[in-house]
Structure 1
Amino acid sequence: MKIAILMVLAYLLGSIPSGIWIGKLFFKKDIREYGSGNSGTTNTFRILGKKAGLIVFAMDLLKGTLATCLPMIFHLDVNPLWFGLIAVIGHTLPIFAGFKGGKAVATSAGMLLGFAPLFFFYSLVFFLVILYLTSMVSAASILSAIFVTVSSILLPYFWPTILPTHNWLLTLVCFVLTCYIIFRHKENIQRIKNGTENRVSFGLNKKEK
């Protein structure tokens, strides 16, 4: 019973529509009506600015982390990745926002932070490098998701300090989320091919002000 209740809590945590709530509460805007129409971090940065974007990113990240930590907080003998995955599902299908949510990147990263912190920071470095090289959050997100999945298999053999043991559930969850992230970014991928993808004001190919 406790596991079921905490799984519902993990879903509700993931369902918190950070971008929508911050936009409506402080800016009187529904960010789904602007820009890409997405309620996630990138569109928040674009529509509401850096401060709001950072707050939304932190909220989306930490709700994945907190959900993943629930089994440890309540001393349950169950793999915390299940709770993190449920939070990601909540983020993408939020009950508080008509089951239309974000693209799962920040909350998936939060799940990784809760499960394997060193692996999270290792992956974050890769994300920042790709973001610097491309100035595109979409490209950095897609390539990082693929990188995390591959790394979850190889790191225990080549760099066990970062990820000491191989966990097939981690690899499976990463693979599923990678497929979903690629699917949700299909329009971004097309714009990248066309050379019309939105860029951020950071990196080698940054957007000119």
Structure 2
Amino acid sequence: MKIIGLFIIAYLLGSIPTGLWIGKRFYHTNLREHGSGNTGTTNTFRILGFKAGVTTLSIDILKGTLATLLPVWLGVTEVSPLLIGFLAILGHTFPIFAHFKGGKAVATSAGVLLGFAPLYLLFLLLIFGLTLYLYSMISLSSIIAAIVGILTVLTFPACHFILKSYDPLFTIIIIIMGSFIIYRHKDNIHRIRSKSENLVPFGLNLSKQIKK
């Protein structure tokens, strides 16, 4: 029963539609009606500004971290914290509090890694930051970080770099998370190919997207 309770709590934590609620409560703005229509961090930054964006990012990360650490704090050893964290990712993507239409799983996935494998998260953040500087696109940075995550979770344990050994469950969940992030960015991939993706106001924009 305790494990089932943790699954439910994690899913409900993930289901909190942070950007959507912040927009409606403090800015009288429905994010679904502006920008990309997404309720995640990127669209929150773009539509509501820096303060709302940082708040949304922090809470969405925290959702994943709290869910992952809950079984550790409660002394539950019968199930991996990763599985509990994964329920938060599902909640974030398919939130019961927002008609099952949520974000793209990037921030909450980062939160899960922060609670379970912080050094590996730091490595992926470096990849994300470098890609963002070179191409000025949060979407592409998320996609590249997801691809690198899938590749390195398969290769790093072989050379004992950051990931010291193979963990089948960790490997499977990283592959699922990464694949899901890539799939959720399918519209962004189309815009990148057509040179019409949204840009951040810094970086080199090496792919020469047309600035809006």
TM-score calculated relative to the size of structure 2: 0.94
| 1:173 to partner: Cα distance | 1.0
Q: Where does residue 11 of structure 1 map in the other structure?
A: 11
Deviations 1:134-182 (A, max 9, x none): 100110001101111211122223344x222221111111111222212
Q: Give me the whole-angstrom Cα distance separating, in 1, the residues matched to 2:27 and 2:210.
A: 24
Runs of at least 5 residues in structure 1 that lack an aligned partner in the other structure: none
**What is the CA RMSD across the aligned residues, in angstroms?**
1.5
Deviations 1:71-121 (A, max 9, x none): 101111121110111000000110111111011111111111111111111
Q: Give me the whole-angstrom Cα distance separating, in 2, the residues matched to 1:107 and 1:90.
A: 9
Q: Give me the whole-angstrom Cα distance separating, in 2, the residues matched to 1:207 and 1:69.
A: 42
Q: Give me the whole-angstrom Cα distance separating, in 2, the residues matched to 1:67 and 1:201.
A: 33
Q: Read off the aligned partner of 2:70 and give its amino acid letter.
A: L
| 1:207 to partner: Cα distance | 8.5
| 1:187 to partner: Cα distance | 1.0
Q: What is the percent sequence identity of the aligned residues? A: 54
**Is residue 24 from structure 1 mapped to residue 24 from structure 2 by the alignment?**
yes
Is the 1:149–1:175 contact (alpha carbons within 8 Å) kept by the matching residues of 2?
yes
Runs of at least 5 residues in structure 2 that lack an aligned partner in the other structure: none
Q: Give me the whole-angstrom Cα distance separating, in 2, the residues matched to 1:155 and 1:51.
A: 37
Q: Where does residue 67 of structure 2 map in the other structure?
A: 67
Q: Give me the whole-angstrom Cα distance separating, in 1, the residues matched to 2:19 and 2:160.
A: 36
Q: Give me the whole-angstrom Cα distance separating, in 1, the residues matched to 2:124 and 2:179.
A: 17
| 1:3 to partner: Cα distance | 0.6
Matches within 5 A, 1:25-44: 25-44=25-44
Q: Give me the whole-angstrom Cα distance separating, in 2, the residues matched to 1:136 and 1:159.
A: 31
Which piece of structure 1 moves more, 96-105 or 163-172?
163-172
| 1:10 to partner: Cα distance | 0.3
Q: Where does residue 153 of structure 2 map in the other structure?
A: 152
Q: Where does residue 199 of structure 1 map in the other structure?
A: 199
Equivalenced residues, count: 208
Q: Give me the whole-angstrom Cα distance separating, in 2, the residues matched to 1:109 and 1:135.
A: 20
Which piece of structure 1 moves more, 127-136 or 172-181?
172-181
